[in-house]
Structure 1
Amino acid sequence: MKSSEDLSIGELAERFGLPTHVLRHWESMGLLQPARQTGGRRSYGHADLERVALIRMGKEAGFTLPELRSLLSTASPMDHRDLLRHHVVKLEERISRARAAKELIEHALACPHSFAECEHAREQIAAHIPPPGDTPRSGV
C-alpha cells in the first residue's frame, strides 16, 4: 500500500509546478536519488520533497546545478565555505547592477528631458561605450 508521502514522479512534479523532465535531469545530475518500486518506478518520500525544495531555493539564490550538487553532497553547506563566499561576491555584483538599473529607470521616469537632452542619460550612455580596441565581455 502506498503511504501518504510516497509520490510518483508526476505527483512530485505537479506539487512543485515542474515538468517531470526537470526531476529526471536533476536525478541524472546526482541531485535526486528516488527510491525505486517494483518495475523501476520512482517513488518520492518526504526527504525528496525537502530535497526538491532545497534545490529550488538554491536555484532562486542563483546557484548552478553543479554548485548545488557540491553544496548538497555533504550534511552541511558550511563544508563549502569557499563556494558560498564566491557566491556572495557574485550576488553583491548582481545587486549593485540591479540598483544602478533601478536608479537609471527612476531617473528616466522623473526626468522631463529626452535621452539626447538629459545630461545624466548622456553620461550613462557614454560610460557604456567600450573604448577602441577593448573587447567587451559577452552578456547582453
Structure 2
Amino acid sequence: MTIGDLAHRFGLATHVLRHWETMGLLAPGRDGAGKRRYGQADLMRVALILMGKEAGFGLRQLRTLLGTGNPMDHPEHLRRHMAELDERIAKATAARQLIAHALSCPMPFDDCPHAREQIAARIPPPIPSTTGALDPRAGLVEP
C-alpha cells in the first residue's frame, strides 16, 4: 500500500509516517520508482508504535525498544516505564477522587475539611538552606 493508504487507515497524516521513518521506527520498501510501499509487517509496526505512544513512550524510547524487533529485549526500560505509569495512575486516581468528592460535597470547596486536608498534604515541608536559614519559598526568610 502507499503512504497515503497507510496513513488513512490509521487516521494519521503522511508526514507523521515520514517522521517515524527518519526516526528509524519505520523502514518501508520502495517500488521501481522509489515510492514507499508498505505491507502487513508495516501495519503491525505502526499499530505497535501507536500502542507505545498510548502507553506514554516517546519516539526515542520506542526506537530503543523496537530497535531489536522485540521490546522484551529491553526489560529494564519496560520496568522503569511501568513504575512511572504506576506513579501517574496513583496521582490520577487521587485527583479523580478529589474531583468526585468535590462534586458530591454539599460544602463550599474552601470550607470542606476533606479538600483542605488534600491541599495541605500537597504543601511540601520547609527546605533548610545550606546556610542554616529556611528557604524563602517556605514563607520564612532570614532575619
> TM-score higher than 0.5 here?
yes
Distance (whole Å) between structure 2 residues aligned to residue 37 and residue 116 of structure 1: 66
Q: Which residue of 2 aligns with 1:112?
A: 106
Over aligned residue pairs, what C-alpha RMSD do you find? 1.6
> Identity over the aligned pairs, expressed in percent?
64
Q: Which residue of 1 aligns with 2:7?
A: 13
- Partner SS for 1:112: coil
Greater relative contact order (CA < 8 Å, ≥ 6 in sequence): 1
Deviation at 1:20, TM superposition (A): 0.6
Query: Do structure 1's residue 41 and structure 2's residue 35 form an aligned pair?
Result: yes
Structure 1 unpaired stretches of 5+: 1-6, 136-140
Distance (whole Å) between structure 2 residues aligned to residue 40 and residue 8 of structure 1: 12
- Partner SS for 2:18: helix
Task: State which structure, 1 or 2, has the greater radius of gyration over its C-alpha atoms.
Answer: 2
Deviation at 1:84, TM superposition (A): 0.5
Distance (whole Å) between structure 2 residues aligned to residue 75 and residue 55 of structure 1: 12
Q: Which residue of 2 aligns with 1:3?
A: none
Distance (whole Å) between structure 2 residues aligned to residue 86 and residue 78 of structure 1: 13
Distance (whole Å) between structure 2 residues aligned to residue 43 and residue 69 of structure 1: 21
Q: Counterparts of 1:47-62 in structure 2 under 5 Å? A: 47-62=41-56
Distance (whole Å) between structure 2 residues aligned to residue 82 and residue 127 of structure 1: 32
Distance (whole Å) between structure 2 residues aligned to residue 22 and residue 129 of structure 1: 41
Distance (whole Å) between structure 1 residues aligned to residue 15 and residue 69 of structure 2: 27
How far does the alpha carbon of each residue in 1:28-74 deviate from its partner, in whole angstroms, 9 at most, with x for none? 00000001112321110111001000101111111111111111111
Distance (whole Å) between structure 2 residues aligned to residue 63 and residue 110 of structure 1: 35
- Partner SS for 2:110: coil
Distance (whole Å) between structure 1 residues aligned to residue 75 and residue 4 of structure 2: 35
Query: Do structure 1's residue 66 and structure 2's residue 60 form an aligned pair?
Result: yes
Q: TM-score, normalised by structure 2?
A: 0.84
How far does the alpha carbon of each residue in 1:54-112 deviate from its partner, in whole angstroms, 9 at most, with x for none? 10111111111111111111132221011011011001001101110111011111110
Q: Which residue of 2 aligns with 1:4?
A: none
Deviation at 1:126, TM superposition (A): 2.5
Distance (whole Å) between structure 2 residues aligned to residue 35 and residue 22 of structure 1: 17
